[in-house]
Amino acid sequence: MSILEDAREVAAQSPVCDPCLGRVFADRSFGLTNAERGRSLRVAAALEDDEEPEEVAREDCWVCEGECARFDEWAERCVEAVEGVEFDTYQVGTRAPPLVEENEVLLREGAGLAEDAGELFKSEYNREVGKRFGRLTETEVEFGRPDVQFLLDIDADTVAVEINSTFVYGRYRKLERDIPQTEWPCNKCHGTGYLGKQPCDKCDGTGYMYQESVEGLTAPVVMDVMDGTDAKFHGAGREDVDALMLGTGRPFVIEIMEPRRRDVDVERLEGDINAFAGGKAEVEGLRLAAYDMVERVKQLNASKRYRAEVEFGDDVTEEELADALAELDGATIEQYTPNRVDHRRAALTRTREVFEATGEWADERHATVEVHGAGGLYIKELVSGDEGRTEPSLAGLLGVDAVVTALDVTGVYGVDEEFENESFFRGDPR
């Protein structure tokens, strides 16, 4: 059969509106809407038959139950649903009524066509409502991860909106010790602040092991400025609680859930965060980021540079220190899971590289050691040996006990490429 003969068979099950007629042949003649396609087929068949083309009001169609007359209405409802929300991209999804889906099957069966001929009702609804919404809001459809997503439940007559997270990238420096990177719930009361009806004696009823964190000094400001409902801090690794993070700072991303604002002044935001942190931490290089920057921050192969104040258990000469550091410079280190973290890390031996090891001798019992090493290298254990769990170690090479009394991280670098790749940012660079 020709396409006109098929169209006649479909239209003969009147009343069938132009969109429902055209939808059966949606894989033909690209560039037309289903309504245009259906009308064209109806007119072409009427011309060939020398008849007046039938006029079918969308509200009267038995296939879509009149729903194809409501594209504009649904688009306007979507606009109302995101009033006051900033966004640049969107996506529309539709939950089709079961009756309409059943009617679609019956329509094709009645015309002797395949059940899957053309496209689905919900596909047309997504497109037609989406086009209208885009025109009304001057925004773009995005099929990957849009700023806002709509689900039109036609049977329930509801519009559900999902506002996807937005992200801010930067680098932070931690300027005081005994501040963790992220909030650390109390392990005794499990973050509740109470043991039974009494305040927890371990955290003084606060629910946290430490009352401040880099997350707590930064994320609330971003959440407030972007008017979100929650925030999550993602760091490129983390330093020990008692270590400072200095130098180039550590890359991080703050994720803001359900933001009502996305396009903020990052320079002003940077100033607001630093003022709020009160000298305990500071951020720089803030940029609006794409969602895949979170994975980049967490997964990009990175090296770290450390400065450690070291105390020896016996006298060490300047020459002995220099010789030991020369042995560590460029060495491959085998580290069995350290004693201090074996309660939360898998017990295994890791191999890590020391790219550079230098030091400054202060006196027979003290020195400053600087190490540039691969990500995951445990510096405190590289110094102490951790009862033989780390080989080689500074203590082992010197033959004396050695302990880190103060540790600073002074640099975090991408090994193969820098973290700050423009393809992972939104908007223009500062």
Catalytic residue chosen out of the listed positions 6, 240, 386, 408: 240
Angle among Cα 126, 129, 135 to the nearest 5 degrees reads 125
3-state SS of the chain?
Answer: CCHHHHHHHHHCCCCCCHHHHHHCCCCCCCCCCHHHHHHHHHHHHHHHHCCCCCCCCHHHCCCCCCHHHCHHHHHHHHHHHCCCCCCCEEEEEEECCHHHHHHHHHHHHHCCCCCCCCCCHHHHHHHHHHHHHHHHHCCEECCCCCCEEEEEECCCCEEEEEECCEEEEEEEEECCCCCCCCCCECCCCCCCCEECCEECCCCCCCCECCCCCHHHHHHHHHHHHHCCCEEEEEECCCCCCCCEEEEEEEEEEEEEECCCCCCCCHHHHHHHHHHHHCCCEEEEEEEEECCCHHHHHHHCCEEEEEEEEEEECCCCCHHHHHHHHHHHCCCEEEEECCHHHCCCCCCCEEEEEEEEEEEEEEECCEEEEEEEEECCCCHHHHHHCCCCCEECCHHHHHCCCEEEEEEEEEEEEECCCCCCCHHHECCCCC
Q: Catalytic site residue 230?
A: no
Cα–Cα distances (Å) from 356 to 295, 329, 332, in that order, read: 28, 5, 11
| 306 annotated as a binding-site residue | yes
| 210 annotated as a binding-site residue | no
Which residues participate in the annotated binding site for substrate? 306, 378
User: So which residues are the catalytic ones?
Assistant: 240
Which residues participate in the annotated binding site? 306, 378
